[in-house]
Amino acid sequence: MRECSNLRIHPSTGGNDTTRNLMTGGVVALNQFSDEYKKLAANPTLIETMVPEIVRWQTPISHMARTAKKDTRVGNVMLKAGGCVALWYISGNRDPDATDMPEAFIIDRKNPRQHLSFGFGIHHCVGYRLAELQLKIAWEEIMRRFRSVEVVGEPQRVCSNIIHGFTDLTVRLHSK
Ligand code: HEM
């Protein structure tokens, strides 16, 4: 199988839309789940497990797709050559059979890297360690400088079925 031509957008997306929206998504998540923010303030070393949880909870790329080169069976479904399959990472990341309480943002999950946000198989994201590192450093610096980042306006979202992100988020920074 290969990627559908209309979805060959990743080179400009990797490490840009993705990590940027993860920084915003993390702020939104911690404000929605304020007990998790308290947990983080009490123990900033939880950034380590919080980072992959942000990646799962936000899922900055909602889906990618594959085109069958030949007739292929996937589970009980027969795919004709040329048929396209959307891989909804965002849906898999909300699967209660795979993640306990998947809608919840929990910064100290036991297996936080068990998610589909970076894809799966031979095309699994090659930049995932860099993405995690960027997010880790961003949160270490935020926690060092600010008591909290408070969301004070309704998050404005990107209108896209591929990029799951934000155009605007108004926040108030509370210094230590
Ligand atoms: C949180 C940030 C990121 C997310 C959510 C993400 C997501 C993904 C996903 C879902 C794929 C699989 C595409 C597919 O199966 O067709 C992928 C592949 C890839 N990513 Fe990322 N990515 C991120 C950051 C980065 C960064 C920082 C880089 C580069 C430094 C990068 C480079 C790549 C490349 C080159 C591939 C293609 C790998 C291949 O086809 O073998 N990504 N990424």
> Measured in angstroms, how far is the CA atom of residue 90 from the centroid of ligand 1?
15
User: Which ligand 1 atom sits nearest the alpha carbon of residue 61?
Assistant: 5
Identify the residue whose C-alpha is closest to ligand 1 atom 29.
127
pLDDT digits (tens, 9 = 90+) for 142-157: 999 999 999 999 999 9
Q: Residue 128, Cβ neighbours under 10 Å: how many?
A: 17
> Measured in angstroms, how far is the CA atom of residue 8 from the centroid of ligand 1?
12
- Strands, E assignment, 63-155: 63-67, 72-74, 77-79, 84-88, 146-151
pLDDT digits (tens, 9 = 90+) for 47-87: 999 999 999 999 999 999 999 999 999 889 999 999 999 99
Query: Would you list the domain boundaries of the chain?
Result: 5-175
In this prediction the pTM is 0.90
Could you tell me which CATH class the domain 5-175 is placed in? Answer: mainly alpha
Q: What is the pLDDT of residue 16?
A: 76
Q: What is the pLDDT of residue 13?
A: 65
User: Which ligand 1 atom sits nearest the alpha carbon of residue 3?
Assistant: 16
Q: How far is CA 86 from its chain centroid?
A: 17
pLDDT digits (tens, 9 = 90+) for 5-41: 444 444 456 667 889 999 999 999 999 999 999 999 9
**Ligand 1 contacts CB of residue 54 (under 6 A):** no
**Ligand 1 contacts CB of residue 26 (under 6 A):** no
> Measured in angstroms, how far is the CA atom of residue 14 from the centroid of ligand 1?
5
Cα–Cα distance, 171 to 150 (Å, whole number):
5
